[in-house]
Amino acid sequence: MSILWTMLVAGCQAQGQADPQISLAAEIVESSQMTTPSATIQGAAPTVTLAIPTATEIGRLPEIRLEDDFESSESCLESFERADASAFIFEGQMILDVVAPETRVISTCQSLVAGNFILESQTRVLNAPQDTPFYYGLTFRVSGEESYNFVFGSVGGYCIFFASPNGILHLTNSTDFVTDCWALPPADAVNLETNQLRVVAVDDRMDFFINDVLMAVVRDNRLSEGQVGYLVTSGAAGGVRVAFDNLRVLRP
């Protein structure tokens, strides 16, 4: 486990008492391939709620590239069983179970490479320690050891970052937590149990939603396409189990 991954998880623990009532306006962050971005939050603005148009509204059925409710034991997402972690389908859900501490686990769809897309899935924490932070969510445009990631943390914040063999590059930031990638969503945007995460990626623009509420808009051109899937990273205590369901990839 790299030191940078450990720092990302530890940053959440340091500010576990952040006020959940703080509302963060949608942010726009830009970065370039040549320089490390300095992410900034734009000025105060009302929370924006955007809904994906229905088939009736746009006059045609959406083009679905991938749809999986995990009711079958067959899936394009990778299943595995190791001493430190496992990924498997159980009772209509994709389960990522991270036993070891400070361990990152991903499961990606091996047969789909997507560039421009709408990626969405429901998430629910089944088991986790109370005293150490962890995070989970969507990984996309996965190419080799590089990927974009949209994760939701145990302390109630979200983070968007680019991962590579060189470490982690934060694509969002705020003053809500010590680790500046993390930001608080509006208090009424998050459910106690199941939450839906969505990414709308078109060229270098990526829009990020929790339960249909826009959290951030990021512009970055490091990766143009790749695989999609799930990500779970445990904290110092390990023992994190997260269920994912109703995975969909649509053309935007």
Tens-place pLDDT, residues 136-177: 999 999 999 999 999 999 988 999 999 999 999 999 988 888
CA distance 30 to 39: 7
CA distance 84 to 99: 5
Sketch the domain layout of the chain as residue ranges. Answer: 3-11+25-43+62-231
| C-beta separation of 20 from 184 below 8 A | yes
CATH superfamily, domain at 3-11+25-43+62-231: Exo-inulinase; domain 1 (2.60.120.560)
pLDDT at residue 180, rounded to an integer: 83
- Encoded tokens for 27: 């942010």
| C-beta separation of 197 from 137 below 8 A | yes
Share of the chain above pLDDT 90, in %: 69
* Average per-residue pLDDT for the chain: 83
What's 186's DSSP letter? P
Tens-place pLDDT, residues 178-233: 778 999 999 899 998 999 999 999 999 999 999 999 999 999 999 999 999 999 99
Residues in the chain: 252
pLDDT at residue 51, rounded to an integer: 53
CA nearest to 218, candidates 208, 226, 232, 209:
208
pLDDT at residue 31, rounded to an integer: 52
- Encoded tokens for 111: 């047969």
In this prediction, residues 236-243 reach a mean pLDDT of 96
pLDDT at residue 12 greater than cutoff 80: no
| C-beta separation of 231 from 242 below 8 A | no
Q: What is the DSSP string of 49-72?
A: B--PPPHHHHTS---EEEEE-S-S
